[in-house]
Amino acid sequence: MASIAIFSSRLLSNMNSQQSIKVKPLSASRFCLQLSKLFCVAVFMFVLSACSGVAKKTASGPSEQAGADIAAIQVIDTITLQSYQQAIDLIEHGKLADADKLLIKVADKYPDLAAPLYNLGVIAENQKDIDSAVEYYNRAIAADKKYYLAYNNLGIISRSKGDFDQALSYYKLGLKAAPYNAELNYNMAVLNEIYLHDYKAAIKYYEQYLASFDDNSVSEPDKNVVSWIKDLKRRSK
């Protein structure tokens, strides 16, 4: 059976939670799972992608997201890859139970591949099975210690449970793997401002959030952040 080299990656996307699967404003997860094809040395390399969520400062605030590659090259057979692609299509059409079954088979066959495990966590979370979501996110991290998407979602879950120190720890681990990730910097800023009342830290992460965007970014930063920084600087004097 032929094998195809693949690597887990985070793609830029403008899709937010309201455009994909309906979740509460503070949900950890958004589905904007896509598959891209790259041609390299006569071999098709497929990019598995999965989008996670940004904790909103207010219920009406827009969610922004950006991406960074996770350089964990793995090999997967073509039939399993087709199953993964089918699962992604099912997710995009809201058929989570069917996608879940396919992803479980993929994860059972390739337990060291983080993306299917992460996606199973996202499905479980949207089905309000938080314990299973946490288990899958931790398994994704066990498969790839730099899988910052899982750290981000675990941080949001911990924050929603009121465990702010644990949330802080998860965000730090995520930022260690992806220091310029917009979502993680935004969520870290929100945690420090609203829950930990560490305004200096909040300013730092809001500024890093803004710095993560440039002219080539597909999405744009939350326009409110600039005014939030000004307000925090005034309050921290």
CATH code for position 102: 1.25.40.10
Question: Which residue range is the domain that position 129 belongs to?
Answer: 3-178
| 65-74 residue pLDDT tens | 222 333 334 5
CA 70 – CA 10 distance, rounded (Å): 7
Q: What is the dihedral of CA 131, 135, 141, 147, to 10 degrees?
A: -50
At 56 the pLDDT is 55
Residue 118, in any domain of the structure: yes
Is 191 inside a domain boundary? no
Kindly state whether residue 228 falls inside one of the protein's structural domains.
Answer: no
Note the pLDDT of residue 187.
Answer: 97
Return the axis-axis angle of helices 78-92 and 96-109, rounded to nearest 10°: 160
Task: Tell me what pLDDT residue 9 has.
Answer: 29
CA distance readout (Å), 138 to 44, 52, 108, 134, 144: 30, 15, 15, 6, 10
Kindly state whether residue 227 falls inside one of the protein's structural domains: no
Q: How many domains does the chain have?
A: 1
* pLDDT tens sequence across 164-214: 999 999 999 999 999 999 999 999 999 999 999 999 999 999 999 999 998
Domain assignment present for 184: no
What is the rounded distance in angstroms from the CA atom of residue 166 to the CA atom of residue 187? 13
Query: Tokens representing 213?
Result: 């965007």
pLDDT, position 237: 77
Burial category of 41 from C-beta neighbours within 10 Å (exposed 0-12, middle 13-18, buried 19 and up)? exposed
Q: Is residue 146 situated within a structural domain?
A: yes
pLDDT, residue 6, reads 32
Which pLDDT does position 11 carry in this prediction? 25
Is 118 within 8 Å of 149 (Cβ atoms)?
A: yes
Q: What is the pLDDT along the chain (237 residues), one digit of tens a residue?
A: 333 333 332 222 222 222 222 222 223 333 333 222 222 222 222 334 344 455 555 422 322 222 233 333 457 789 999 999 999 999 999 999 999 999 999 999 999 999 999 999 999 999 999 999 999 999 999 999 999 999 999 999 999 999 999 999 999 999 999 999 999 999 999 999 999 999 999 999 999 999 999 888 888 999 999 999 999 999 987
In a domain, 234, yes or no: no
Residue 93 lies in a domain: yes
